Amino acid sequence: MEGYKTIEGRATAEIEAKKSRFIGQLAHVDSEEEALAFLEEIKAANRMARHNVYAYIIRAEDGGMPRVRYSDDGEPQKTAGMPTLQVLQGAELTNVVCVVTRYFGGTLLGTGGLVRAYTQATQEAVQTATIAVISSCVDIEVTIPYTLHDQLAHIAAAAGAKTVDTSYTSEVTVRLRMLNGTQEPLLQKLRELCRGQECFSVTEPFDASF
| pLDDT tens for each residue of 41-94 | 999 999 999 999 999 999 987 778 899 999 999 999 999 999 999 999 999 999
Q: Please give the distance of CA 87 from its chain centroid, rounded to a whole number.
A: 15
In this prediction, residue 1 carries a pLDDT of: 46
Q: What is the pLDDT of residues 147-197, one digit of tens each?
A: 999 999 999 999 999 999 999 999 999 999 999 999 999 999 999 999 978
Domain regions of the chain by residue span: 4-128, 136-209
Cβ-proximal residues to 87 (8 Å cutoff; 6+ apart), any chain: 98, 119, 122, 123, 126
Per DSSP, the residues of 141-171 read EEEE-GGGHHHHHHHHHHHT-EEEEEEESSS
In this prediction, residue 100 carries a pLDDT of: 98
∠ CA(38), CA(39), CA(42), 5° rounding? 85
Residue closest to 149 by CA, chosen among 129, 169, 127, 177: 169
Residue 167 phi/psi, 5-degree rounding, is: -125, 145
CATH architecture of the domain formed by 136-209? 2-Layer Sandwich (3.30)
Q: How many CB atoms lie under 10 A from the CB of residue 61?
A: 8
CATH superfamily assigned to domain 4-128 = Impact, N-terminal domain (3.30.230.30)
Q: Give the pTM.
A: 0.77
Cβ-proximal residues to 78 (8 Å cutoff; 6+ apart), any chain: 72
Number of residues that this document lists for the chain: 210
In this prediction, residue 2 carries a pLDDT of: 65
Rounded average pLDDT over 108-116: 94
Examine the pLDDT at 207 and tell me if it is beyond 70: yes
